[in-house]
Amino acid sequence: MNHIVTIAHLYPREMNIYGDMGNIISLSKRLEWRGYRVQVKAVEIGEPFNFDEVDLVFGGGGQDSGQLVMCPYLVKRGPVLREMVNAGVPMLVICGMYQLFGHGFKTIDGQELPGIDVFDTTTIGKKTRMIGNVIVETTRFGRIVGFENHSGQTLLARTQAPLGEVVQGFGNDPKSKREGATREQSIGTYLHGPLLPKNPRLADHLILTALKRRYSVTELEPLDARFETSAAKSAASRPQ
């Protein structure tokens, strides 16, 4: 098979911490093991980018300083990214990028970083950092596990669906017990770790959504999940 899948990686120089790159590796490997060719294309500051050929979008987390540098460029890409979200392109955005996929992030220093309004969320930096292993119960992907480290607290608008309910850890904020946000096929979450190697169901959901759109694929060949399951178990059993 010579099918190509194109993954856009948003601003990896500024936004790539706590193993986020592992998500790209996980997506690529799971596609390659099933016979697809993968090209990962970085969206970089000041460089042209053609989103027409993109099947899946990924964006990692970053320090406030990294967000400050890349956010004006992301905002310029806002219209095309929103259009892709509405068209059902699967996206996974983590922590710092998740914050900027909402309406904006006010840092603890009082800087206002605009977002691209994909999610109906706002984020405000607070003194308490939320750090530790997180367990989240979701209706679509079952129980997912990851690691969070953020000072931004994200508030969801009343009609904004979360990714899931927090079983352990903080998630969007210390009070709501809700984690992440979803819209169409796009997922925002605080979970690093990296997330996808430990949560193969979520990885395969993103992959299948991309393959359905591009190649009308209806199901994925199952892969051995022993290592992934034991990584998830070990992460879930660690104290917070």
Residues that bind ligand GLN (CB under 6 A): 17, 61-64, 67, 95-96, 125, 149-152
Three-class secondary structure of residue 73 per DSSP: helix
Q: In the complex, what is the shortest distance from the CB of residue 198 to ligand GLN, in angstroms, rounded to a whole number?
A: 17
DSSP structure string for 110-144: S-EEE---SSSEEEEEEEEEEEEEEEEEETTTEEE
Q: In the complex, what is the shortest distance from the CB of residue 153 to ligand GLN, in angstroms, rounded to a whole number?
A: 8
Beta bridge partners of 58: 9, 92
Q: What is the DSSP secondary structure assignment for residue 49, as one 8-state letter?
A: -
Distance CA 52, CA 11 (A): 18
Half-sphere exposure of 211 (CA within 13 A, CB side): 22
| 38 or 95: CB nearest ligand GLN | 95
| 43 or 93: CB nearest ligand GLN | 93
103 is catalytic: no
| 6 or 16: CB nearest ligand GLN | 16
Q: Which listed residue (9, 103, 192, 205) is catalytic?
A: 192
Distance CA 91, CA 192 (A): 15
Q: In the complex, what is the shortest distance from the CB of residue 10 to ligand GLN, in angstroms, rounded to a whole number?
A: 13
Distance CA 204, CA 221 (A): 10
| 6 or 186: CB nearest ligand GLN | 186
Q: Which listed residue (71, 95, 103, 150) is catalytic?
A: 95
* Closest residue by Cα to residue 223 from 37, 56, 33, 35: 33
71 is catalytic: no
Number of residues in the chain: 240
Q: In the complex, what is the shortest distance from the CB of residue 149 to ligand GLN, in angstroms, rounded to a whole number?
A: 5
Q: Which residue is nearest to ligand GLN (CB)?
A: 61
Q: Which residues are catalytic?
A: 95, 192
